[in-house]
Chains A and B, each alone.
Chain A
Amino acid sequence: MVDAEIQREAVLAAVENVAARIADEKSHLTDLDSAIGDADHGANMNRGFQAVVEAVDGDEVDDMEPDELVKLVGKTIISNVGGAAGPLYGGSTMLASTELEDGITAETSVAFAETYLQKVQDRGKAEIGAKTMVDALVPAVHTYKKSIEQDDLPPLTALSKAVDACERGVRYTVPLRARKGRASYLDWRSVGHQDPGATSTLYILEELLDTAEEYLDGEVVRDARSPDVPDESPEETADESLGGEDE
């Protein structure tokens, strides 16, 4: 595995890439949110990631271990995004950063992804099918874990498959009726709209993949983006929960 300095560089590059992407997509995210939420997701996320770029733009980060750097990223998001998105994106990043204490490897990145997902679910109390970021995160994390641990794929290929699964998760939110967050207030009127939190999650993962391509040997096999069955099928789980509850 690459040494701590290169890992730190990779984290910084990822931060820049994600921040630039969120800035580009700011209006799009806000448009998605204005359809079913309170129309601030793009602005909130952009404010948070611009603050992150500023926070890591100093000499003091030179002495930080990769996990400390990731922790700083999370903490900065918490204090600048606010609302529910602050704890969901920032808090989960911060708390999952402890999984990277031994550096960023295939194994620790799986642990990071699982803890991140766990924290999001603990906080948000949302299950698959509630039209939230969980619908994009669960297939992504499960696919990543399976690709590394069971299929023994290189991390880059695994990440590529995770992005693909995430993308399908995002599309899956479109026909759903929201049952969590602000969008749930619209009930049936939320159907037909793509979830903004799931969408921003995909943007972040896509930028992580692009950054990883720069830092990891090997190239992404684009075929890897073809659908691969995650451990848990969103559709099946959702059908069960939809059938069991009538609000």
Chain B
Amino acid sequence: MKKLINDPADYVDEMLDGMIAAHPDRVRRLDGTKVLVRADAPVEGKVGIVSGGGSGHEPTHAGYLGNGMLDGAAAGEVFTSPTADQLEEMVRACDSGEGVLCVVKNYEGDVMNFETAGEMAEIEDVEVAEVVVDDDVAVEDSLYTSGRRGVCGTIFVHKIAGAKAAAGGDLEEVRTVAEKVVDNVGTMGMALTSCVTPEKGEPTFDLGDDEIELGIGIHGEPGVERTDVMSADEVADRLTEQVLDDLDVGDGDEVATIVNGMGGTPLSELYIVNRRVQEILGDRGLETWDAWVGDYMTSLDMMGCSVTVLRLDDELKELLGAPADTLALKRTD
């Protein structure tokens, strides 16, 4: 398998070095860790928002460092949770005295390490709150989780909680609005091909040329159904309808959507999927307030996509539309 890497053991380190080389004025690395924080962290008077998880999901998480989103992002090894001591350092580095919200994707390793980090930070008198994102409607329990997995809907949590913190919300207000996003968001994904992790160097799972996998997570873990190749419209129908049924949205609801690429799918194909997603929403009487299309939460080089739908109210609309200036996502007024 051809890859643009050196030693697989240096994969994450060299990626982070490259990110810093691209944005030396925007982000810095905490010494001796794989944690990146905003260059100006901790931001005085603001609740800190941090996230993290295994690498391989770029631009998640460090791509969302900056005004209006994250203050800290911890990078574990590829598809492996960061250790609790690194997460604790991140929490402490992002605390200006106003407390820190940890946005955690529901994977067992992530949840356990963040919980431990939070307790360690609290011993050092940092106020910590946590929100666990479990937006994947495809599964109830999976290889790596109790309950539903946390996937692309996490980006909406980063955006909205980040905007609330930037607007001066206190830790409880920021946590509450983050929970509101979690309660109103759903995602389902699919794969055309397996990803190839740098250590293993070969596909994580076998998928025939004429097969696709529905309900996949973001680590090449098994989906819920393997089926024959479908057209873009058929894929969009399956993903979108399962998400909408789970969210129980209906006539007159306003939503925001993400058609997310898994890392190996061209933008043109994502637009084709988005075209159909928006048709379905229109047919159901839903109004799309904001539609994002692109690679937001990837799975290395996996070909495929996920569809995320967030039900909005006035507060969520205002925060979703608020300015953000991060490495991978920019919003202006």
Contacts and interface: CB of A to CB of B under 8 A. Distances in A.
Contact of A87 (B76, B112, B143): B112
B84 to A, nearest CB: 5
Interface in A88-104: 88, 90-91, 94-95
A182 interface: yes
Interface in B31-62: none
A196 to B, nearest CB: 16
B146 A79 contact: no
Given A75-B85, A94-B120, A123-B116, A83 B143 contact: no
Given A82-B80, A125-B146, A87 B115 contact: yes
Interface string A117-140: 000001111000000000000000
Interface residues of A, number: 24
Interface in B132-154: 141, 143-144, 146
B108 A181 contact: yes
Nearest to B140: A247
Contacts of A79: 83-86
B119 interface: yes
A91 B81 CA distance: 15
A86 B113 contact: yes
Contacts of A84: 108-109, 112
Interface string A217-242: 00000000000000000000000000
A82 B83 contact: yes
Main secondary structure of the interface of B (DSSP, over half): helix
Given A78-B83, A86-B84, A180 B116 contact: no
A119 B70 CA distance: 29
A113 to B, nearest CB: 18
A235 B44 CA distance: 55
Contacts of B85: 75, 78-79
A185 interface: yes
Contacts of B76: 82
B84 A78 contact: yes
Contacts of B115: 87, 91, 122-123
B84 A87 contact: yes
Given A79-B86, A182-B143, A87 B116 contact: yes
Interface of A: 75, 78-84, 86-88, 90-91, 94-95, 122-125, 180-182, 184-185
**Top-8 shortest CB links A-B:** A91-B116, A87-B112, A87-B116, A79-B85, A78-B84, A185-B143, A123-B112, A82-B83
10 contacts: A78-B85, A81-B83, A82-B76, A83-B80, A83-B109, A86-B113, A87-B116, A91-B84, A91-B112, A123-B116
